[in-house]
Amino acid sequence: MDEKILVTRSTLPPFEEYCEEIREIWESRWLTNSGVKHQALEQALCGYLGVSNLALCVNGHLALECILETMELKGEVITTPFTFVSTTNAIVRRGLTPVFCDIRPDDFTMDPDLIEPLITENTCAIVPVHVYGSLCNDEAIEKIAQKYRLKVIYDAAHAFGVTKNGKSAATLGDASMFSFHATKVFNTVEGGGAVFRDPALYEALNRRKNFGINGEALVSFGGNAKMNEFAAAMGLCNLRHIDASIASRKEAAMRYRERLSGVPGVQLAAVQPGVESNYAYFPAVFDPEVFGCTRDDVLAALAEHNIAARKYFYPLTSTVAAFGGAHPETETPVAARISRSVLCLPLYEGLGADNADRICDIILALKK
Ligand code: T4K
């Protein structure tokens, strides 16, 4: 049996490097609550992402909830159904109503041309997702947001380190959420970050993530969404190796692209002009009419070789009744089609071009 290949594999620093990084934590016994590692990582990430503020959180999901809470949003939020269930969960858990907008067929991000008809007097914000690390059309979204005085909060869980014409994705919109989960390009085991255009909101979020406490004063509502020192230490180590890690992902991604581009019935995410990708995911869309077999057939064929691709993102979150009523897929036909036919192929640091080749051989052998 071939060695198992999963959709992703966590990036880890050298073991000794992490041990050295946590030595100070052991000596000080300061394990959490904004310790030295937390402070150092916030500063390092601001530098890497080119932003003035970044509030570390226990995970990306709670970072998004904290952003929505800190911005005191109420009413309807226009968002995408083609995402990990976290995005919609965060909106609903904050008492907001998700209104689902369809996506663009080429890069799978929210279609700005479809936003305006969804706006009502209750709309307070737009929450698009830089899905797979493909950037949303921020200029078009910003124009609409300004016209209707809406906030824009990006779910940038997949977009760590992505730039457009040299500008960091972290600078887009009123706020962005990043995920530093074990499965992400940059990880702190579990973790996330919140970035605001208005730096005053950074302080406000810091209170929200710490029970609403400022010093010993209780100044707002709040929960507990703080990152601990061991997680921050992992982040400090992983950040030292991030460029090499992305370069390794790129090698495998480029091989996939080389082998699968132009194959009838296989659609790859559009290469976006001016965008420097982080190679977070490698989605491939299979059109059964042309390719000759379905996404599920490809998934099964890979599984026979011990390769676990994943159906990110199926089903559409809009179809889940728990989110205020199930919406028919026909409301967002492009998202429905992509969700039924997309497969994320394995991609991680160290996968290598050889493994990408092997995966392509299996896929291409299925073509009818
Ligand atoms: N918004 C978006 C658009 C997101 O994609 C996510 C998370 C969020 C928000 C929320 O961010 P966080 O709160 O998670 O920071 C995984 C991740 O748990 C989740 O973080 C991620 N998106 C989602 C797309 O994928 P699962 O249920 O598919 O993960 P799981 O456990 O099946 O792992 C997938 C593969 O990763 C495994 O087959 C092997 C590898 N893996 C996994 C773990 C847990 C590792 O190599 N090491 C590990 O520790 O959700």
The DSSP string of 188-233 is -SS-EEEEESSTHHHHHHHHHTBTTEETTEE-S---B-PPPHHHHH
Q: What separation in angstroms does the CA of 219 have from each of 34, 62, 78?
A: 18, 20, 30
Specify the ligand 1 atom closest to the Cα of 179: 15
Asked if 128 and 154 count as a contact pair (C-beta separation under 8 A), the reply is yes
Instruction: Classify 177 as helix, strand or coil.
Output: strand
Task: Decide if domain 242-365 falls under CATH 3.90.1150.10.
Answer: yes
Mutate to test the pocket of ligand 1, among 84, 282, 312, 348 (most ligand atoms within 8 A of CB): 84
DSSP helix, strand, coil percent of the chain (3-state; round to 5): 40, 15, 40
Measure 321 CA to ligand 1 centroid, in angstroms.
Answer: 23
Measure 184 CA to ligand 1 centroid, in angstroms.
Answer: 7
Mutate to test the pocket of ligand 1, among 181, 184, 238, 347 (most ligand atoms within 8 A of CB): 181
The reply to whether ligand 1 has any atom less than 6 angstroms from the CB of 181 is yes
Domain with CATH 3.90.1150.10 in the chain: 242-365
Domain with CATH 3.40.640.10 in the chain: 15-240
The reply to whether ligand 1 has any atom less than 6 angstroms from the CB of 185 is no
The reply to whether ligand 1 has any atom less than 6 angstroms from the CB of 311 is no
The reply to whether ligand 1 has any atom less than 6 angstroms from the CB of 9 is yes
pLDDT in tens, the chain (368 residues): 678 999 999 999 999 999 999 999 999 999 999 999 999 999 999 999 999 999 999 999 999 999 999 999 999 999 999 999 999 999 999 999 999 999 999 999 999 999 999 999 999 999 999 999 999 999 999 999 999 999 999 999 999 999 999 999 999 999 999 999 999 999 999 999 999 999 999 999 999 999 999 888 888 889 999 999 999 999 999 999 999 999 999 999 999 999 999 999 999 999 999 999 999 999 999 999 999 999 999 999 999 999 999 999 999 999 998 887 789 999 999 999 999 999 999 999 999 999 999 999 999 999 88
In this structure, the residue with its CA closest to atom 29 of ligand 1 is: 183
Measure 13 CA to ligand 1 centroid, in angstroms.
Answer: 19
Residue range 15-240, CATH number? 3.40.640.10
